[in-house]
Amino acid sequence: MEINLSIIIPIYNEELNIKLLYERLYKVLTQMHVIYELIFINDGSKDKSINIIKELANRDKCIKYIDFSRNFGHQIAVTAGLDKSSGKSVIIIDADLQDPPELIVDLYNKYNEGYQVVYAKRRSRKGENLLKKWTAKAFYRILGKITSVSIPVDTGDFRLIDRKVVDVLKKMPEQQKFLRGQISWIGFKQIAVEYDRDERHAGKTGYTYKKMLRFAADGITSFSNFPLKFASYAGFIVSFIAFLIMLYALYSRFIIKEYVPGWTSLIISVMFIGGIQLICVGLIGEYIGRMSANIRNRPLYIINESNIENV
Ligand code: UDP
Ligand code: MG
């Protein structure tokens, strides 16, 4: 039988949420009269998440799971789900119930109206600290300015995408995944559905600041060469300033002949130019690091076990 809807659920230490999530999903999906599959991707959880998933899978044939060999990160977990999904449409949803399963009805209705991407847009955002909200807002604003893809503000990965979009995503082999950017880049008919984002039901966020920073850097480097251009702009500006200083130094040395052994200006300019150089080398390094990751061409993820055939 053809599956209408695949639900992809990345799991990292969500033992307290999985059961309730399943119940809410089950209720919504049975009301919708669609043929569906739930794909849980256990991304190296350190708690009992995988046991709970397997228990559910024993009871319900619609449940599929992929168990990673270690933690590969949220975007990779979602990618594995996309790779193994077979539905004509696919929904990506968080396991912590911040994305209300009941919204799936609205997403699916829009899909039936003929949209290939229906993303859930947060009208409000509960239970997240100001720092996270501000940094997220600033990040998307900057990203919008320096890239050509426009990523809709206040959206995450909670969205429905058509099989056509999934097939294109599977052809984008980059190691650094920034799915919301890739989906915008792919195009097709896209629309937003608004919702109020809930608090995490239980447990704590798996997105540490370190993971968020890496995610942000992946987003920028995958879609923009602006930082590299910035390096050369900064180089020009600093060289120009250095040239002016040189003129001034020559002028004071030979024309007004009033010069002190200029330790201050010397040390300042050396430090300044040294700093700029290090920034530029670092920026280039960010890109080269990612390039070499792609050239090594390692598998994106390693599966320990799964109940999906042909994985
Ligand atoms: N997640 C994952 N791998 C990770 C971190 C998170 O699969 O390394 C999952 C997590 O279980 C949840 C979703 O990704 O289903 C979103 O993560 P989280 O709620 O921790 O992020 P936040 O909502 O705080 O941004
Ligand atoms: Mg969350």
**Domain range list for the chain:** 5-223, 226-296
Taking the CA of residue 9 as reference, the ligand 1 atom at the shortest distance is 15
Query: What spacing in Å lies between the alpha carbon of 300 and ligand 2's midpoint?
Result: 23
Q: Quick one: which ligand is closest to 9's CA?
A: 1
The whole-number pLDDT of residue 235 equals: 76
The whole-number pLDDT of residue 264 equals: 67
Q: Of 40, 47, 43, 44, whose CA–CA distance to 16 is shortest?
A: 47
Indicate which residue's Cα is closest to atom 19 of ligand 1. 205
Residues whose CB is under 5 A from ligand 2 (ion)?
A: 96, 98, 200
Q: Which residues contact 125 (CB under 8 A, 6 or more apart)?
A: 133, 154, 197
Q: Quick one: which ligand is closest to 301's CA?
A: 1
* Rounded Cα gap, residues 223 and 188, in angstroms: 18
Residue 200: CB atoms within 10 A of its CB come to 19
Rg (the chain; Cα; Å):
25
The whole-number pLDDT of residue 10 equals: 97
Among 8, 12, 201, say which to mutate for ligand 1: greatest number of ligand atoms within 8 Å of CB.
12
Taking the CA of residue 128 as reference, the ligand 1 atom at the shortest distance is 24
Residues 289/294/296/298 CA torsion (nearest 10 deg): 120
Q: Quick one: which ligand is closest to 40's CA?
A: 1
Taking the CA of residue 78 as reference, the ligand 1 atom at the shortest distance is 7
Provide the token pair at 309. 């055939």
* Rounded Cα gap, residues 76 and 74, in angstroms: 6
Q: Which residues contact 196 (CB under 8 A, 6 or more apart)?
A: 122, 123, 124, 126
Global pTM?
0.76
Determine the residue type at 159: R
Indicate which residue's Cα is closest to atom 23 of ligand 1. 205
Query: What spacing in Å lies between the alpha carbon of 155 and ligand 2's midpoint?
Result: 13
Taking the CA of residue 206 as reference, the ligand 1 atom at the shortest distance is 20
Q: What pLDDT tens digit does each residue of the chain (311 aa) get? A: 789 999 999 999 999 999 999 999 999 999 998 999 999 999 999 999 999 999 999 999 999 999 999 999 999 999 999 999 999 999 999 999 989 999 999 999 999 999 999 999 888 777 677 887 788 888 888 888 888 777 777 788 999 999 999 999 999 888 888 888 889 888 899 999 988 888 888 788 878 888 888 888 888 888 777 887 777 778 778 778 877 877 887 787 778 777 666 666 777 777 778 777 877 887 887 888 778 778 877 888 999 999 998 65
The answer to whether the CB of 159 falls within 8 A of the CB of 120 is yes
How many CA atoms lie less than 13 Å away from 246 in the CB half-sphere? 7
The whole-number pLDDT of residue 247 equals: 80
Look at strands 190-197 and 117-125 and give their pairing.
Answer: parallel
Indicate which residue's Cα is closest to atom 2 of ligand 1. 74
Taking the CA of residue 212 as reference, the ligand 1 atom at the shortest distance is 25
- CATH annotation of 5-223: 3.90.550.10
The whole-number pLDDT of residue 111 equals: 95
Residues with CB under 6 A from ligand 1: 10-12, 14, 43, 71, 73-74, 77, 94-96, 98, 200, 205-207
